[in-house]
Structure 1
Amino acid sequence: MKLFAQGATLDLTHPHVMGILNVTPDSFSDGGAHNTLIEAVKHANLMVNAGATIIDVGGESTRPGAAEVSVEEELDRVIPVLEAIAQRFEVWISVDTSKPEVIREAARAGAHIINDVRSLSEPGALEAAAETGLPVSLMHMQGNPKTMQEAPKYDDVFAEVNRYFIEQIARCEKAGIAKEKLLLDPDSVSVKISLTIIPYWRDWVSFIILTCRCWWACHVKRWLVSYLTWDHQTV
């Protein structure tokens, strides 16, 4: 399995490490640390040297309670950084955005992947993504970024998340985005990931391979990576 974008190829027969670059003042883990062009490029360089093959650039925090950002502000934050990374590094770039205007401009600036936590649900986002022809990451969540961690409840988490992805895949295919360009993110950062449902993750891997063939997940805890790789030793 391979992804193709901007004349580049990403081999998905092995895992890739994605470095997160938040160019915001209020993101969850690094808000304000890289929100100048110089600091952003410096941090991108550190991540590439550490082994990252994908750099994910976000200009709007999606943590609960974060303030909304205008289209103009998000473009001002993201586009110069995308252009600088594209010019300096042999690395794939994803843009973390839900806005159609940012999707289009990011594609022109050299982004390879659209990473949308809202799964292209904002008005015009689906059409914009289809126009670019870029691969798209779709994330599952209940509610919206401000509310998704407020005690999410599932009667059958595996069935409900799978149903969500089946619906999103159908939406994208109808809009002209091929299934082979879709990556699915069940969202391991959300509170919904707990010891009671982690066993479902192995089932999700099988589901994603059968439906979309690509999965895209943010694992921030070493014990979770250990569990998902069938290696219960410390990693």
Structure 2
Amino acid sequence: MSKTALNWGERTYIMGILNVTPDSFSGDGLARHGDVVGAALQQARAFVAAGADILDIGGESTRPGSSPVTPAKEIARVIPVIEAIRAELDVWISIDTYRAVVAKAAIHAGAAMINDIWGFRLDRQIAKVAAESGAYVVLMHNRSEPKEFAGRGILGGRYVGSDYDELIADSEHELMLSVKIALAAGVQK
């Protein structure tokens, strides 16, 4: 955790994204490098020098059509990077995962925020991890149904329900489902 407090609502915070995957959605997967930890640390330094307050570290690509990796592989990708950044930089670290076991390992290694693309709807135990650790949370809006992903084993292969009657109202309603899961698990507002 950074020594600098996050005072939500007082200013905008900048998040740098570190994808330690070989097949990132944005084409910047750092796992293509021989020294993944070194490449991630170099990018982390650059992000912090450019003003990033938070570094979001992900070990599984969610690009359309990507295949999920095992929790063990995701942990093996992110933990060495989190530990290296924590040892060198005073910056908030976020773990980009939807798995409770990965979030728990990342928090133990030094992450203080959980960024879940499923908004706690796929692995509901992740909400308990957030509550028990006191981690900040980012609950993303995702109209795909978790059961659809679970049955097909393809991340982002087919995004459903992208037609909205009322974009803002529909998104708010759907995000409130994630908020309810978080609050029921004990996550503080």
With the shorter chain as reference, the TM-score category is 0.7 to 0.9
Which residue in the other structure is 1:174 paired with?
184
Q: Which moved more, 1:145-154 or 1:130-139?
A: 145-154
Structure 1 residue 122 displacement after superposition: 2.5
Residue type of the alignment partner of 1:141:
N
Per the normalisation by structure 2, the TM-score is: 0.85
Structure 1 residue 151 displacement after superposition: 6.9
Runs of 4+ in 1 over 6 A off after TM superposition: none
Which residue in the other structure is 2:16 paired with?
19
Task: Please tell me whether the aligned partners of residues 96 and 114 of structure 2 are also in contact (alpha carbons under 8 angstroms).
Answer: yes
Task: Please tell me whether the aligned partners of residues 22 and 30 of structure 1 are also in contact (alpha carbons under 8 angstroms).
Answer: no
Q: What is the aligned length?
A: 175
* Partner residue of 2:5 out of 6, 9, 25: 9
Which residue in the other structure is 1:165 paired with?
175
SS of equivalent to 2:182: helix
Q: Distance in 1 between matches of 2:79 and 2:28?
A: 18
Which residue in the other structure is 2:95 paired with?
95
Q: Distance in 2 between matches of 1:73 and 1:134?
A: 23
Per the normalisation by structure 1, the TM-score is: 0.69
SS of equivalent to 2:142: coil
Structure 1 residue 107 displacement after superposition: 0.7
- Say whether residues 1:155 and 2:165 are aligned partners: yes
Root-mean-square deviation (Å): 1.9
Structure with the larger helix share: 2
Structure 1 residue 33 displacement after superposition: 3.3
Which residue in the other structure is 2:150 paired with?
none
Structure 1 residue 8 displacement after superposition: 5.3
Which residue in the other structure is 2:140 paired with?
139
Kindly, what percent of the aligned residue pairs are identical? 39
Residues 50-92 of structure 1 deviation map (CA, whole Å, 9 limit, x = unaligned)? 1111111000011111110101100000001001111101111
Q: Distance in 2 between matches of 1:114 and 1:46?
A: 22
Structure 1 residue 118 displacement after superposition: 0.6
Q: Distance in 2 between matches of 1:121 and 1:7?
A: 31
Residues 138-178 of structure 1 deviation map (CA, whole Å, 9 limit, x = unaligned)? 00011165146467111222221111122222221111001
Which residue in the other structure is 2:112 paired with?
112
Residues 185-227 of structure 1 deviation map (CA, whole Å, 9 limit, x = unaligned)? xxxxxxxxxxxxxxxxxxxxxxxxxxxxxxxxxxxxxxxxxxx
Gaps of 5+ in 2: 146-154
Task: Please tell me whether the aligned partners of residues 113 and 137 of structure 1 are also in contact (alpha carbons under 8 angstroms).
Answer: yes
Which residue in the other structure is 1:28 paired with?
25
Structure 1 residue 133 displacement after superposition: 1.4
Q: Which moved more, 1:60-69 or 1:126-135?
A: 126-135
